[in-house]
Structure formats: C-alpha cells, structure tokens
Amino acid sequence: MFTKLRSFRAFTLIEVLITLTIFVMVAIIAVTLLVNGMRSAKRIQAQIYLYTEAQALMDQIAREVSNNTVDYELYYSRNVLGETGWDTPNYGFYGQTFFNPGTGGQLVGPYDDVDDYYGANCPSDTSLLYPDECSDETPDYDELDLETGTHPFEEIDDFTGYTDDPVYMNAFCEGTAADPDHGSIDCTEVGVPFTDELFLVNGAGDTRIMYIMELLEGSSTEYGLSRLVMSGADYNNDGVEDTWSCTSDYDCLDVTGEVGEDLIGLAGLPVPDEDDFMPLSPLDIRVVSFNVLISPSEDPYRGFGEEDAQLQPQVTVIMEVTLSDEFGSSLLGDIVPSILIQRTMTTGVYSKVVSYE
C-alpha cells in the first residue's frame, strides 16, 4: 500500500519581505519609544536637578539678605561715580549726599566741584580732628554739616548742572537726559533699580558680600554665579571703614601666587579683582540671567525725608538657570531644559549702616 504524502505550502518571498518590514517597523517604534522615554526621564531628572540647585543658590542668597542689608554705598560708587574696582576708595560719598555742606572740612566728595569741597564734619579749624574735637552744639549750616534726609541736599540746585529734585538723584542714578555733565540718562526712566549685581553689607558696616555673573572656566559664552566677601578697615581712624580688602577665604593673589603691586589698597592690604570671586553655582549649571531689583532706590535710614521712603529695603532676585552645553547636549540632545525662579526678600538690618558721619 502506498501512503499519501502531505504537501506543505512554503512562504513566498513577498510574504517574507512583508513580515520583515513589519518587524523592523515595530522594532523601530519600540526603540524610538524607549529612547524618548529615557530622554524624558533624563529631562525630568535634569529639571529636578536644575530646580534643586537653583533653589539652593536662592536659599543661600536669602540667608545672607536676611542677615545683612543693601550696600547702597557700593551701588552708588559703581553706578553713579563710575568706579570699576571693588576697594571703594570713595566709600562714604553716598552718605555725604544727604548732608548740606558746611564751611571748611573735607577736600573731596561726590560734589567736590560745587565749592572745592563737600561735607564739612566740623568747624573748619577742627575738621581734621573729627570726631573727637567736634562741637557738641546743634549743627549750623554756616559751619557744620546738616543732615537733611534727602538726596541730594537742599539748595544744590543753586549750582550749575544740579537739581535738588530727589526724582533725579538716588543711589543708582544721578542726572537728567538734558544734563550730560551729571548723567547720561534720565533718572525718571530708570524706575525700580534693576541690576545684575547683588551687593550686601552687614549692620556694623565692616563686611561686604557681593554676587556677580562670571564666565565659566574654559568658556567664552557661558556664565555662572560667583561670590566674594570683603572686610572693611578704618585706615584714617575716624571710626568709619574707608578701605576694603579680601577676607581670609579670598586671598586676592595674582596668577603668580603673589599679591600684585597694583592690588594693594590704602591700608597696604590686597584689593580684589574679578578673578578673586569664587564660583558659587556648580560647573554643570549655566546661569542664563541674574537680575536684582532693589526697593527703595535710597537707603530708607538715610532718605527718611524723601516722599517714597519705606521702612525696610527689599531685594527681588530673578534668576534663570540651565545645564551647561557640555552636560546638556551630551545627555539631552538639542532640547535642554531651563528654569526661571524668583524670590523677594527683606533685609535684616534695621538701622543705618554708618559709612559717613
């Protein structure tokens, strides 16, 4: 007997190609979903990391704002007087702007072109012995300084180019658009002081904390947040800090490891430059923007006579951070997350910081 053989139908080439095509498409979709899922997870992790680091930076700033106050003297030196260094040789000039000048006294000041000097501390024959030899009598405009509580002092508009309207004079701006000698911009257009530097000073007036944006090491386009702390010294023994230098944590040395001759301040102490600021933000974090709003534009404990004086200075910090190019592009591709955070803080010094008397 013969057994009937079964016949098997084979796959055709077209069927094999269709099957492979479907398999490849499914594999591609699966891999794409997996890669996108991993990128999304990394992006979420990056956002959490960015938020955590940004909040850590903001927390440190908030702690120092709450323990100190706005350094109006330094803002005035850099924004009005045009100083570019950090040792502030004209420290105290801002405080002087709230005094009607008496006769005699100091030979230099913020308005030394008014009458060859500004801000007599005492009668002219004893001014160099201030404060020990000053008169205890009520200040007389003809002899002694008179604190007005307004910046600028009253009757400054008697002098060419100046105005006694406080709208045109504050710690961040001086002058009108029509007055190129005393200001290249109209102070009424400034509004709330908006800057990219945060300057704080302690209640004793002898410690200064500064935050600025600096280029990241090895980069010409990316910035980080840096910090510097300075201590004041009373060089002329008048009871007021008049020169500033690095604290022990900031050596202010040049590239050779030595203190450069051009970095010596009035008291023979090293003076910091931009290179002495220490990075505060991690190297894999890039600070896109760091903006500071100061309110009010005058020290309220000096400008007590001004209409817009308020009880306590406030600092609003607006900061945008993202990952550095090296860290972000290598892990996340072309879409790198960024985070914008903002916080308003009240300063913690409830008295005038003595910088000029």
pLDDT in tens, 300-323: 999 888 877 777 999 999 999 988
Residue-by-residue DSSP string for 249-316: T-----TTSS--GGGB-TTS-B---GGGPEE-S-TTEEEEEEEEEEESSS-TTT-TTSTT--SS-EEE
CB neighbours of 288 closer than 8 A, spacing ≥ 6? 223, 320, 321, 322, 338
7 vs 296, higher pLDDT? 296
Q: Report residue 17 as tokens.
A: 């190609």
**Confidence (pLDDT) at 203:** 92
Question: In the predicted model, what is the mean pLDDT of the chain?
Answer: 75
Q: What is the pTM of this model?
A: 0.77
pLDDT tens digits, one per residue of 177-228: 556 455 556 677 666 678 889 999 999 988 999 999 988 877 888 889 999 8
Average the pLDDT over 240-259 and give the result. 62
**Confidence (pLDDT) at 60:** 94
> Model confidence at 259, in pLDDT bands (50, 70, 90)?
very low
**Confidence (pLDDT) at 183:** 56
pLDDT tens digits, one per residue of 45-91: 888 888 898 999 999 999 999 999 999 999 988 888 888 877 777 78
Q: Are 149 and 302 in contact (CB under 8 A)?
A: yes
**Confidence (pLDDT) at 122:** 44
Asked whether the bond before 123 is cis by omega within 30 degrees of 0, the reply is no
328 vs 85, higher pLDDT? 85
Q: CA-based Rg of the chain, rounded to a whole angstrom?
A: 31
Of the candidates 282, 352, 351, 270, which has an alpha carbon nearest to the alpha carbon of residue 321?
A: 282
* Residue found under tokens 């400034």: 190
* Residue found under tokens 């440190």: 60
Share of the chain above pLDDT 90, in %: 20
pLDDT tens digits, one per residue of 117-166: 444 444 444 444 444 444 444 444 445 567 788 888 766 776 666 777 77
